[in-house]
Amino acid sequence: PVSESSPPLEPAAGDAALAARAHARPSISCVIPCRNEAGNLDLLLPRLLAVLEPLAPAWEVILVDDGSTDDTPQRLAAWTRRAGIRTVELSRNFGKEAALTAGLQAARGEVVVMLDADLQHEPELIPTLLEKWREGADSVYAVRSSRADESLFKRLGARGFYALVNAGDRVEIPPNAGDFRLMDRAVVEALLALPERNRFMKGLYAWVGFRAVAVPYMPAARAAGRTHFRPMRLVNFALDGLIGFSTWPLRLLTLTGFALALLAFGYGLFLVVEYLLHGHRVSGWTTIVVGIMFSAGLQLVSLGVVGEYVGRIFEEVKRRPLYIVKRRRGQGLGE
């Protein structure tokens, strides 16, 4: 058995470092994934810089162009003439999770803030996030205070997703927290050290642990353009999370298999006894057909679930890079 007296794990920052945080003015990196956000950048960046400049002695904004097909790259290139604004252009669309990872990899700040490019995550909340970091939190995440602005499909879907993914697991993914968050350098290093290719970030944040604190916020409306997460993509996204962060679907199948086997055994016993008591009778056609169809359906579903996991294993063992960088622009730090 594990001894009760094993030494406590070192906190991310030692006590002295924690005390020093209270008045610290850390350098800040902002990571912003952009896919076809040309209409938003000229609104977002002035607002963001107005927040960053008085807040941090040194800052940088890392904009990751995730294979945009509009003139987002040109807009970004123009912005990189300012010191502190940098871009990472990916060679194609790799998805938001990969773009975030690319941005985190490029970030050098003592704290890193991630936010969306569409102004739904208002930069004016960043000082509040930083205040929580000063109070000792290693990661501060913004939680939607209400989903009333969303469709019934999204609301029910979100509720179901969090119930399923958090069912009986050690790692609790906080419901309604998105990618709007501030992280200490230690948390960023921990995230980047995770080798998997399924970058379901909500799960990864929860998995690495550290002291996490929630800050309520109400997302603003998207400034320009439209959402990239249409219903089918959300369903796929949720499946990635579910398969990547729990194995209970497999466990459930095993248990169902056991239950069915028990049932079949009991029924067999019943048939034998009935034969001995009442002699042979050919009947029960309905039972047979229903039984066969039910078990065939269950086997197909089980095969599908196992296939989902095997597919993820296939993705992982290929060991392809998470993203490919086409070009980087910009340099220096903002002050």
Q: Does 89 bind ligand UDP (CB under 6 A)?
A: no
Whether 48 and 34 have beta carbons less than 8 Å apart is answered as: no
**Residue ranges that bind Mg ion, judged by CB under 5 A:** 116, 118, 120
Mask for 151-170, x = binds ligand UDP (CB under 6 A): --------------------
Q: Which CB sits closer to ligand UDP, 26 or 33? A: 33
Candidates 116, 138, 184, 240: give the one binding ligand UDP (CB under 6 A): 116
Query: Contact at 8 Å (CB) between 96 and 203?
Result: no
The CB-of-303 to Mg ion minimum distance in angstroms stands at: 36
Which of 84, 88, 86, 14 shows the shortest CA–CA distance to 55? 84
User: Is residue 229 a contact point for ligand UDP (CB under 6 A)?
Assistant: yes
Quick one: which of 95, 203, 244, 334 contacts ligand UDP (CB under 6 A)?
95
Residues numbered 119-148 forming contacts with ligand UDP, rule: CB under 6 A:
120
Of 82 and 228, nearer to Mg ion (C-beta) is: 228
At closest approach, how far in Å is the CB of 153 from ligand UDP?
Answer: 13
Helix (H) or strand (E) holding 53: helix 38-55
Residue 103 CA to residue 65 CA, distance in Å, equals 10
- Cβ proximity to ligand UDP: between 179 and 184 the closer is 179
Enumerate residues 282-321 that contact ligand UDP by CB under 6 A: none
On whether the CB atoms of residues 182 and 112 are closer than 8 A, the answer is: yes
The yes or no reply on residue 228 touching ligand UDP (CB under 6 A) is yes
Q: DSSP readout, 153-207?
A: HHHHHHHHHHHHHTTT-SS---TTEEEEEEEEHHHHHHHHH---S---HHHHHHH
Q: How far is the CB of 284 from ligand UDP (least distance, A)?
A: 53
Instruction: Answer yes or no: are the C-beta atoms of 61 and 86 closer than 8 Å.
Output: yes
Per-residue binding letters, 206-225, with ligand UDP (x by CB under 6 A): ----------------x---
| 229 vs 258 by CB, closer to ligand UDP | 229
Work out how close the CB of 267 gets to ligand UDP at its nearest, in angstroms, rounded to a whole number.
49
Q: 70-84 burial by CB neighbour count: b if 16+ within 10 A, else e? A: eebbebbbebbeeeb
| By CB under 6 A, residue 37 contacts ligand UDP | yes
d(CA 327, CA 87): 8
Q: Is 265 exposed, middle or buried, given 0-12, 13-18 or 19+ CB atoms closer than 10 A? A: exposed
Kindly give the pairing relationship between strand 325-329 and strand 85-90.
antiparallel
Contact 219, 144 (CB under 8 A): yes
Binding segment toward ligand UDP, per CB under 6 A, in 15-23, 80-88, 112-120, 162-170? 112-120
Please, what is the minimum distance in Å from the beta carbon of residue 67 to ligand UDP?
7
> Under DSSP, is residue 52 helix (H, G, I), strand (E, B) or coil?
helix
Show the tokens assigned to 160.
């179901």
Site membership for ligand UDP, residue 45 (CB under 6 A): no
At its nearest, how many Å lie between ligand UDP and the CB of residue 40? 8
66 binds, among ligand UDP, Mg ion, none (CB under 5 to 8 A by kind): ligand UDP
Q: Is residue 118 near ligand UDP by the rule CB under 6 A?
A: yes
Q: For ligand UDP, how many residues bind (rule: CB under 6 A)?
A: 17
Listed residue (88, 128, 137) closest to 108, CA to CA: 88
Binding site for ligand UDP (CB under 6 A): 33-35, 37, 66, 93, 95-96, 99, 116-118, 120, 222, 227-229
